[in-house]
């Protein structure tokens, strides 16, 4: 339905469950994809699976120099960065009273500061092209909060506010900036939950099941598409009704 | 006209899509050449790239006209 032929998309965290699926979906819609992540092997495997139009761009998002260089490397590999998907994220959970400064900072660095730097770098080329799509992957906890995740929730809520500010700044140049806020999604991260935790979570999800990475990817493809040109500063909540906004 | 002025004018003409003869010494980017605040940021970044210089924010604010830009860059480059 949505055609991204001729567009180049940089996806961070493409070695993870949701990121890999986002890259697959953008690729299936015709885009050339830049697969970024810290673990090279799964990125290489994904690129091999996708065949053509896939580039592996390893990057450690907690390293400012690597972050600064990533958009440039992506543009060199693909010709441009028309679509940026800030998907990578980490958790360092713990109750706030026991949370170390290091755990706070690590999460803010990777989940909020790195996306800001990547947006700043990518907007440059998008301004010249008078077209661009930025999709930042937030989270249901970025709006609702979650005990034990003060750092993660702050970073994800921060992404929403940052996206709205950027959206306003660059709207006149054909660039949109939006968020997708996933709820509980079947990934390696949620596989670690035991049956009881799973049951408790599902009791709060009207749909009665966890979401799939494909369902997140579909939202990203929409926001990246030419059809979504009039949607900016928005957050698309994909959470099975768990948190209705 | 100096080489620097030529290069600055080329950037302004390309970026703002204006006629070269409109880009006079006293032409204000915003008032006369139709630039908005984003355009002025883009112009400053384009000047930095073209001339390999850094234009700090407080200096950028003083660059209102084509003449201002040429003067600042001539001194900095």
Query: Distance between CA A24 and CA A46 in Å, rounded?
Result: 8
DSSP codes joined into one string, A63-89: -HHHHHHHHHHHHHHHS---EEEE---
pTM equals: 0.93
The side-by-side arrangement of strands in the sheet containing A54-58 is: A54-58, A32-37, A8-11, A83-86, A132-137, A175-182, A235-238
CB pairs under 8 A between A and B: 8
Whether the pLDDT of residue B2 is over 90: the answer is no
Per CB-CB distance under 8 Å, the chain A contacts of B38 are 127, 169-170, 172-173
User: Tell me: the pLDDT tens digits for B11-58?
Assistant: 999 999 999 999 999 999 999 999 999 999 999 999 999 999 999 989
Instruction: Specify the pLDDT at position A188.
Output: 80
- Are the beta carbons of A127 and B38 separated by less than 8 Å? yes
Instruction: Specify the pLDDT at position A194.
Output: 87
Which token pair is A6?
Answer: 């001729």
* pLDDT averaged per 10 residues in sequence order, chain A, 245 residues: 96 96 98 97 97 97 95 98 97 96 98 98 94 98 96 98 98 97 89 86 94 98 98 98 94
Max CA separation in chain A (angstroms): 52
CA distances from A55 to A7, A15, A67, A207 (A): 14, 13, 17, 36
Q: Among all residues of chain B, which has the CA nearest to that of A169?
A: B38
CA distances from B38 to A87, A123, A227, B31 (A): 27, 12, 25, 14
Q: Is A208 left (phi over 0), alpha (psi -120 to 50) or beta?
A: left
Say which residue the tokens 């579909």 belong to.
A218
Reported ipTM exceeds the 0.90 cut? no
Give SS3 for A35.
strand
Does the annotation mark A222 as catalytic? no
């Amino acid at each position: 339905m949505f055609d991204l032929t001729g567009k180049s998309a940089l996806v961070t965290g493409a070695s993870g469950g949701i990121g890999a699926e986002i890259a697959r979906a953008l690729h299936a819609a015709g885009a050339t994809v830049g697969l970024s992540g810290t673990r090279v092997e799964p990125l290489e495997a994904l690129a091999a699976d996708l065949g053509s139009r896939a580039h592996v761009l390893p990057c450690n998002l907690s390293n400012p120099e690597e972050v600064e260089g990533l958009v440039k490397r992506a543009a060199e590999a693909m010709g441009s960065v028309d679509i940026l998907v800030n998907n990578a994220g980490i958790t360092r959970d713990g109750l706030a009273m026991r949370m170390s400064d290091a755990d706070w900072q690590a999460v803010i660095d990777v989940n909020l500061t790195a996306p800001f730097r990547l947006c700043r770098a990518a907007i440059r080329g998008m301004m010249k092209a008078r077209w661009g799509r930025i999709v930042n992957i937030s989270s249901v906890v970025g709006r609702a909060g979650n005990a034990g995740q003060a750092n993660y929730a702050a970073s994800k809520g921060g992404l929403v506010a940052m996206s709205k500010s950027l959206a306003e700044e660059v709207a006149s140049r054909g660039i949109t900036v939006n968020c997708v806020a996933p709820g509980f999604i079947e990934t390696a991260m949620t596989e670690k939950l035991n049956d009881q935790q799973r049951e408790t979570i599902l009791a709060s999800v009207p749909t009665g099941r966890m979401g799939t990475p494909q369902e997140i990817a579909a939202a990203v493809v929409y926001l990246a598409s030419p059809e979504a040109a009039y949607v900016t500063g928005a957050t698309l909540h994909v959470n099975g009704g768990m948190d209705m906004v | 006209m100096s080489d620097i002025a030529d290069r600055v004018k080329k950037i302004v003409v390309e970026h703002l899509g204006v006629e070269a003869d409109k880009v006079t010494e006293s032409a204000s980017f915003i008032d006369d050449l139709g630039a908005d605040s984003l355009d002025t940021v883009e112009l400053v970044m384009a000047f930095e790239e073209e001339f390999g210089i850094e234009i700090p924010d407080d200096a950028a604010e003083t660059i209102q006209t084509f003449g201002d830009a040429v003067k600042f860059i001539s001194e900095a480059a």
